[in-house]
Amino acid sequence: QKEVEQDPGPLSVPEGAIVSLNCTYSNSAFQYFMWYRQYSRKGPELLMYTYSSGNKEDGRFTAQVDKSSKYISLFIRDSQPSDSATYLCASWAGNKLTFGGGTRVLVKP
Amino acid sequence: SAVISQKPSRDICQRGTSLTIQCQVDSQVTMMFWYRQQPGQSLTLIATANQGSEATYESGFVIDKFPISRPNLTFSTLTVSNMSPEDSSIYLCSGSSGTNEQFFGPGTRLTVL
């Protein structure tokens, strides 16, 4: 079992819809949680960074962490075609990041 | 956030040769890392580059194959030695300034023939 599991998708939504992305993790030592966006042929770009359980909002993006169920989510409101990318969740413990497999998202105009 | 650049951006190499990838950060960072990403796959950590000492390698990666240098707080190199086609991948450098937020370079796309 991978330490961080993520549905690979692809997830296809119409423009303006809410994109809902999820990850589960198994390692209780994970303390920090990140979401990265990666466009094709580019390096990952840090979107959100959270520590505690609960919600964190940044513009159209909301990250949610539930440490009791080891579940992390990312919601993208009013999705745009420019949001089409691969989204990677990651968890930090022991001085290193562990990544999920990534979910490919396609927002159709 | 730190801005990270890598050189070369891509290369095509012959089997048995070595390639050194450079990573430059625009500000001092506490930690630097090297990852590998196979096409369509997620990131796998190769090693943590430690300033002034030997890198810390993850299981499955060894210093003889992936020697790493980090002479200061803004620069690191990764060498892929004695390459085979299985080493064809994207190699990514990242840096962290101690807040656990990691920023990534654009990657080096390596093809080994």
Q: For the purposes of burial, counting CB atoms within 10 Å of the CB of B81, is it exposed (0-12), middle (13-18) or buried (19 or more)? A: middle
**Predicted pLDDT at B98:** 67
Q: What is the mean pLDDT of residues A49-55?
A: 85
Which pLDDT belongs to residue A51? Answer: 84
| Residue A43 near residue B92, CB atoms below 8 Å | yes
In chain B, the residue whose alpha carbon lies closest to the alpha carbon of A94 is B100
- Give the distance from residue B103's alpha carbon to the nearest chain A alpha carbon, in angstroms: 7
pLDDT band (50, 70, 90) for residue A90: very high
> What percent of chain A lies above the pLDDT cut of 90?
73
Contact B42 A97 (CB under 8 A): no
Compute the mean pLDDT over every residue in chain A, rounded to the nearest whole number.
92
Q: Which helix (H) or strand (E) holds A49?
A: strand A45-50
A75 touching B (Cβ < 8 Å): no
Measured between CA atoms, how close is B60 to chain A, in angstroms? 15
Q: Are A49 and B100 within 8 A, CB to CB?
A: yes
CB B30 within 8 A of CB B14: no
Confidence band (pLDDT; 50, 70, 90) for A94?
A: confident
Residues of B in contact with A43 (CB under 8 A): 4, 92, 104-107
Residue B2 has pLDDT above 90, yes or no: no
Contact B100 A92 (CB under 8 A): yes
B45 and A46 within 8 Å at the Cβ level: the answer is no
**pLDDT computed for residue B40 by the predictor:** 80
Cα separation, A107 vs A82, in Å, equals: 8
Question: Side chain identity at A60, as an amino acid letter?
Answer: R
Chain A residue numbers with beta carbons less than 8 Å from the beta carbon of B2 are none
pLDDT at site B99? 64
- Span A64-84, average pLDDT: 95
Is the pLDDT at A5 greater than 70? The verdict is: yes
The per-residue pLDDT of chain B, averaged, comes to: 93
By C-alpha distance, which of A23, A6, A103, A20 is closest to A66? A23
- pLDDT tens string B37-81: 988 888 999 999 988 889 999 999 999 999 999 999 999 999 999
Nearest 5°: phi and psi at B87? -85, -5
